[in-house]
Structure 1
């Protein structure tokens, strides 16, 4: 049978390769057609089209039966590999769509480290071991920026004041505590009135890192303690704030979780004033893929 010039024929099609593999294994048009759930004439046409695309005769057909030509034998191994890779690609795409495989980029503020973040991530990885979870510590504003740039899939932030393209849900709350150097005169107080800190140098979370949180601490001091905090230093992360306090450079008001950080030289005292708790929110893009995000949030309940 003459073979067309391949430069003038169609590109290879996977259905042609499947027809080829069935015939190459059965070496019988009837059995191959039955295996493919098709009749013999369309199978013959598919083989002819494949040979035209390849530019070589792949089968010899005569009264003795069907045999692979040397070209067909050479083609068979590569065709099998192509089909295996195609099947693997299809399976992977289905698994990604189902949320069984993938990559989840999570940002977090430091306080979450001391409020069950590790156990939460372990619970998720136990249920979904083929999902890669990448975590990075960022302050709230940097997480919001990263979410907007599609560099994070989920952020754990200290604010729910978000751009309209983002949305959030509350995760948990925790009380604020006064953070003092261990040798401070007020470090032994059972409960510390905010007004007692009015003349102290303050170390606050960076205004740039989390404008809402910075303003929140200032408002607590003004509304509950009757003073404007005397800002001495700023830190871009809460652990930096606590570390600066531990070194005797000032005092602060921090989420309670940091008393579990084990930073030597820092003392934490309850506040006597009634103050709304610190809140942490999960934030994400409204147009993001929800499957992995929802599964991670659900895993927190079982952690």
Structure 2
């Protein structure tokens, strides 16, 4: 029964929003196709999720970028637009993509866990210059309260298009333009993992990626241990 997907357990690490987007649709379709597989989700940083895959604590992790980890395989599944979350009172030009450079003097709010550390690294890479580092305020709150802080004027933050599936009063979302405005996301798993429930998820994810766009052509083979 486990081999046919009727029973089993699947442990997944993630760090993004499930309100909409590729991962939300994938997990919803997986649940519909395999309702008796017990799916356990764990939200953490990309580094923590990768470590959990390596030590076998979780079966797979969905993380940004194009990771190369010993003994693991990786598959790029989708690309997602990056948005900046601003207070409603912030002056904007309708339908004009934002540039991070124009926001360099703002205070950027990030969470202490989840996607926060990756967002902080991204901001430092994009905005730092000799004698200047972006002003980043690390908050020990979840995504919802971080956006509530944006609404109250404590600062701004970055998110991805998948977060736009929820409504946050007092917050507007503006797309970033140019090369800085897209992030790719991958699924990683141990090459030695034989969990049938994982194979079903990987097959479904790859099929969806192939039907949507070009990302499915990029597979990373396992690295030497």
1:204 maps to 110
The structure with higher relative contact order (CA 8 Å, sep 6+) is: 2
Distance 1:156 1:119, change over 3 A: same
Once the two structures are superposed, residues 10-64 of structure 1 have per-residue CA deviations (whole angstroms, 9 ceiling, x without a partner) of xxxxxxxxxxxxxxxxxxxxxxxxxxxxxxxxxxxxxxxxxxxxxxxxxxxxxxx
1:167 maps to 73
1:43 maps to none
CA distance in 1, matches of 2:36, 2:10: 11
1:275 maps to 180
2:60 maps to 154
Distance apart, 1:104 and its partner CA: 0.9
Distance 1:288 1:243, change over 3 A: farther
Alignment TM-score, normalising by the size of structure 1: 0.58
What SS does the corresponding residue of 2:25 show, helix, strand or coil? helix
Structure-to-structure mapping, 1:122-141, within 5 angstroms:
122-141=28-47
Match of 1:178 among 84, 88, 92: 84
Distance apart, 1:248 and its partner CA: 1.5
Match of 1:119 among 25, 35, 38: 25
Match of 2:193 among 288, 293, 297: 288
Q: Does residue 1:143 correspond to 2:46, yes or no?
A: no
What SS does the corresponding residue of 1:110 show, helix, strand or coil? coil
Conserved in 2, the CA contact under 8 Å of 1:142 and 1:209?
no
Structure 2 unaligned residues grouped into runs of 5+:
210-225
CA distance in 2, matches of 1:212, 1:162: 16
Q: Which has the higher strand share?
A: 2
Number of residue pairs aligned between Structure 1 and Structure 2:
207
Distance 1:213 1:166, change over 3 A: farther
1:250 maps to 155
Conserved in 2, the CA contact under 8 Å of 1:203 and 1:233?
yes
Distance apart, 1:283 and its partner CA: 1.4
Distance apart, 1:293 and its partner CA: 1.5
What SS does the corresponding residue of 2:174 show, helix, strand or coil? strand
What SS does the corresponding residue of 2:172 show, helix, strand or coil? strand
Conserved in 2, the CA contact under 8 Å of 1:203 and 1:250?
yes
Q: Which has the higher helix share?
A: 1
Distance 1:293 1:209, change over 3 A: same
Structure 1 unaligned residues grouped into runs of 5+:
1-94
Distance apart, 1:249 and its partner CA: 0.9
Distance apart, 1:210 and its partner CA: 6.2
Distance apart, 1:235 and its partner CA: 5.5
**CA RMSD after TM alignment:** 3.1
Distance apart, 1:282 and its partner CA: 0.8
CA distance in 2, matches of 1:219, 1:266: 25
1:78 maps to none
